[in-house]
Structure 1
Amino acid sequence: MLTVVLECQDQESELAQTLSVLVAGAVEGLVSDVIVLDHGSHDGTSRVADAAGCRFHSQWDIKDIVRSARGEWLLFVEPGARPQAGWIDEIAEYMALNKAPARFTASRGYRRPFFQRVARTRPPLELGLLMPKNQALATVKSGMRLADFVRGQKPRKLASELIPSWVTRAR
């Protein structure tokens, strides 16, 4: 089973888009719970999380969040990111056969502008991070932000593509 963790601030519509894609994973029995970590949103982020049945935290310690995750694997993604077709089967198979962290492949249909690709200025969670809960617990430190936690990982690449959150913001 998989716990999805999203960190956001004033990203109501982006959160709704990501959660709508995750519903299929819940229906298939892959996604056991979703945790939304909020940084003081002033929009309807908390209402969207509540309506979708997510656990919503406005104050937290990342180590406690990881410890409380129901799934044996964790998927960290940005609000607005959307896994593409086939992600459920691939992640289920990957979790059954591997113990190493992994990331999605960048969507071929939504590429960053040339200079951003050359400069490699990709945000740490742009392609998500899938990892076993026990590895996350061994790595995470109290007070850490998700972006800091993700930077130290050396993940494998999944074949499944992810439309990154910046595409949602650009529209």
Structure 2
Amino acid sequence: MFSVLIETRDDEEGLARTLASLIGGAVEGVVRDVIVCDTGSTDQTHRVADHAGCHFVAGGIAAGIRQAKGDWLLFLEPGARLSEGWTDDVVAHTARQTMPARFSRARGSRAPFLSRVFSGNRALAEGLVISKRQASSLAKSARSAEAIARGLATKRLNAEIWMAPPK
């Protein structure tokens, strides 16, 4: 079972979209808990998390990792949405692999080639599936989920993600 961590800052609308895509995983029993790791929101992000039954942590990603109940963590950006059937690929990956993984970009979510080349890549744009042990170790020197995800060697999952729009 997985703990989902979403790092937020004034992301109430994006958070609601992301949480909606996790409902299937929660119903199947794959999503154990969802932790919203806030970094100083002034909007209604905390209310969205509360109404959805998420744990709301104001201490950032390291505090969220400590509270996570699952042995595997799924990091997502607010606004990202997982395509239907994502749970099968993630469960299969974690059953046979120990390395982190990222989702494949949904066809409609792919930017044109030159736009991808010249834009700054977000390390969490494609999500991240990582063991709690490895994330805890990386969180000691990283201050954000983005920093944890940056530069990791990962496997590509067949499951697709609709990326969050850039801020």
Aligned to 2:163: 164
Where do residues 80-95 of structure 1 align in structure 2 (5 Å cutoff)? Answer: 80-95=79-94
d(CA) in 2 for partners of 1:41 and 1:30? 28
TM-aligned CA distance change 1:107 to 1:143, over 3 Å? closer
Contact 1:7/1:36 (8 A) holds in 2: yes
1:1-46 Cα shifts (integer Å, max 9, x gaps): 1000011111111100100111110110000001111122222111
1:89-109 Cα shifts (integer Å, max 9, x gaps): 111111111111000011111
Aligned to 1:134: 133
1:105-141 Cα shifts (integer Å, max 9, x gaps): 1111122133222236221110011011111122221
Which amino acid is the alignment partner of residue 154 of structure 2? P
d(CA) in 2 for partners of 1:29 and 1:154? 28
1:132-168 Cα shifts (integer Å, max 9, x gaps): 111112222166111111113111100111000018x
* Runs of 4 or more above 4 Å deviation: none
d(CA) in 2 for partners of 1:82 and 1:61? 21
TM-aligned CA distance change 1:162 to 1:61, over 3 Å? closer
Q: TM-score, normalised by structure 1?
A: 0.90
d(CA) in 2 for partners of 1:42 and 1:153? 31
Give the number of equivalent residue pairs: 167
Aligned to 1:56: 56
Contact 1:5/1:77 (8 A) holds in 2: yes
Aligned to 1:66: 65
Q: Structure 1: any 5+ residue segments left out of the alignment?
A: none
Q: Over aligned residue pairs, what C-alpha RMSD do you find? A: 1.7
Where do residues 39-54 of structure 1 align in structure 2 (5 Å cutoff)? Answer: 39-54=39-54
Q: Structure 2: any 5+ residue segments left out of the alignment?
A: none
Aligned to 1:23: 23
Contact 2:36/2:64 (8 A) holds in 1: no
